[in-house]
Amino acid sequence: MINIALPKGRLGEKAYAMLEAAGYECNSIKEQNRKLIFENPEKGVRYFWVKPSDVVIYVERGAADIGIAGKDIILEYSPDIYELEDLGIGKCRMAVAAKKDFCDRRDRTLRVATKFPNIARSFYSKQSREIDIIKLNGSIEIAPILGLSDVIVDIVETGKTLYENDLEPKQDIVDISAILVANKVSYKFKNAEINAICEGIRKNITK
């Protein structure tokens, strides 16, 4: 049985559709209920829905053999896992954003609100920029509006959230998409099964 961690939400549904198209369907997953684990013994797959940022934890520790994780989460947590395939879905970018009239003063410590402190720290340390990280867990866009931070480091997909909150992107940091990841031990001992899944998915990837 291959254990597969799917990120709850729209991205996970898209990722499941790719696995289904590759021949790894599990019809019970489509039932409207609050179950979190679904399996199809005939196909040898067990799926479970987890919080998107937890996928890499399940995979790193071997509770899941493979999973679908955003590149943002991989960069933030640097888990000891394999990245097998860029699925070409969940495309967005990590960017610095601020109020339209924000004027950076390099002689001052920059206050950065973010859910991604490691990504932000690494980005600014390459520029030898002194920053003060304000770690938040969501609705990051509010921080500069209320004066909690000077800038934010966050995901931008359509740019609508920034626009509607009178913020604008200032610098792009990195492109993000969903990655098929694998536990290192599973990849060794369940290699044929995992490669078969990769092969099946690869046909439906549009980059």
Under the binding rule (CB under 6 A), the answer on residue 177 touching ligand PRP is no
Give residue 17's identity as a one-letter amino acid code: A
C-beta closer to ligand PRP: residue 51 or 61: 51
Binding pattern for the stretch 134-163 against ligand PRP, x by CB under 6 A and - elsewhere = ----xxxx------------xxxxxxxx--
Kindly state the smallest distance separating residue 162's Cβ from ligand PRP, in Å.
6
Kindly state the smallest distance separating residue 157's Cβ from ligand PRP, in Å.
3
C-beta closer to ligand PRP: residue 114 or 183: 114
CA–CA dist 43, 136 (Å, integer): 41
- Report the candidate in 101, 114, 106 with the shortest Cα–Cα distance to residue 173: 114
Residues paired with residue 69 on neighbouring β-strands, in sequence order:
179
Under the binding rule (CB under 6 A), the answer on residue 171 touching ligand PRP is no
Under the binding rule (CB under 6 A), the answer on residue 203 touching ligand PRP is no
C-beta closer to ligand PRP: residue 55 or 140: 140
CA–CA dist 174, 184 (Å, integer): 25
Kindly state the smallest distance separating residue 152's Cβ from ligand PRP, in Å.
9
- Tell me the H-state helices in the chain: 10-21, 55-60, 71-77, 117-125, 142-145, 160-164, 184-189, 191-202
Distance between alpha carbon 48 and the CA centroid of its chain, in Å?
16
Under the binding rule (CB under 6 A), the answer on residue 117 touching ligand PRP is no
The footprint of ligand PRP (CB under 6 A) covers: 138-141, 154-161
